Amino acid sequence: MAKQYDILCRLLMLGDSGVGKTCMLRRFTDSEFDPSHISTIGVDFKMKTLDIDGVRVRVQIWDTAGQERYQTITKQYYRRAQGIVFVYDITSESSFQHIAKWASDVDEFAPDRVQRILVGNKSDEELGRQVTKEQGSKLAESFGMEFFESSASTSSNISESFTRATELVLQAHKRDVDHLLGSLDDYLEQAALEEERAGGYGGAAPRACAC
Ligand SMILES: Nc1nc2c(ncn2[C@@H]2O[C@H](COP(=O)(O)OP(=O)(O)OP(=O)(O)O)[C@@H](O)[C@H]2O)c(=O)[nH]1
């Protein structure tokens, strides 16, 4: 059977519990928003295929638990990440302050070449805003990251954020794309197996995502 993608790209979402990582991912892959907060246990993932400049990129996005008690588990996933989406909640000053701690963990545990973006989520909650757009932008700049404000609720900048993170990974690997294609074949085989075993997101999502 013909391959449905050219490259597999692995992104990892990091940020405090409750900032909206799972909601962002669901919005991106399933176009859904569920206002309830069920904390992620450990890690979960979803996949979506993007067309970036004619390259079919199968993006595997790992959604990690923000809760401290899962950190030992989640850190094991940093090593294989190619892109990191740091997320804070614009209505939570503490989640913004903690980005420095998430970034320092990534420095310690992720590959040197990992690409990063910063996302301030819940931009629809203007009345509860505790972190200005300028603060977010400055922090991102200080870490050399691109910055977005998003809303999983309204869908604002959700696709843009994940797509940009994927583009950055592709750019970073452009020179050794042949090597990437080879090694990512293994990833896809493994991912397909895991997806089949897990039945997608907690068994609720269809196996083939809307890509
Ligand atoms: N208003 C608003 N609420 C949001 C948005 N994104 C998420 N939420 C709400 O924030 C809460 C937490 O969202 P989750 O996606 O479960 O948060 P999380 O970061 O995955 O949390 P952990 O799994 O514990 O790490 C939920 O009640 C969501 O409904 C958003 O863009 N706008």
DSSP character string of 114-132: -EEEEEEE-TT-GGG--S-
CA distances (Å), 116 to each of 152, 167, 202, in order? Answer: 19, 11, 27
Residue 185 has pLDDT above 80, yes or no: no
Q: Of the candidates 174, 169, 204, which has an alpha carbon nearest to the alpha carbon of residue 11?
A: 169
Q: Which atom of ligand 1 is nearest to the CA of 87?
A: 19
For range 98-106, the mean pLDDT: 97
Give the pTM.
Answer: 0.84
- Ligand 1 pocket at CB < 6 A: 15, 17-23, 35-37, 39-40, 65-67, 121-122, 124-125, 151-153
Nearest residue CA, atom 16 of ligand 1?
Answer: 37
37 vs 114, which has greater pLDDT? 114
Q: Of the candidates 147, 151, 87, which has an alpha carbon nearest to the alpha carbon of residue 122?
A: 151
Interval 111-153: pLDDT, tens? 999 999 999 999 999 999 999 999 999 999 999 999 999 999 9
**Residues facing 64 on adjacent strands:** 43
Ligand 1 mean position to 165 CA, how many Å?
20
Distance CA 27, CA 50 (A): 15
Residues 6 or more apart whose CB falls under 8 angstroms from that of 79 comprise 109, 110, 111
CB-CB contact of 34 with 153 (8 Å): no
> For a pLDDT cut of 70, what percent of the chain falls above it?
85
Judged by average pLDDT, the poorest of 84-93, 154-163, 181-190 is 181-190
pLDDT recorded at residue 6: 83
pLDDT recorded at residue 202: 42
Domain chopping of the chain, boundaries: 7-175
- Tell me which CATH code domain 7-175 carries: 3.40.50.300
Sort strands 83-89 and 7-14 into parallel, antiparallel or unpaired.
Answer: parallel
Average pLDDT for the chain = 88
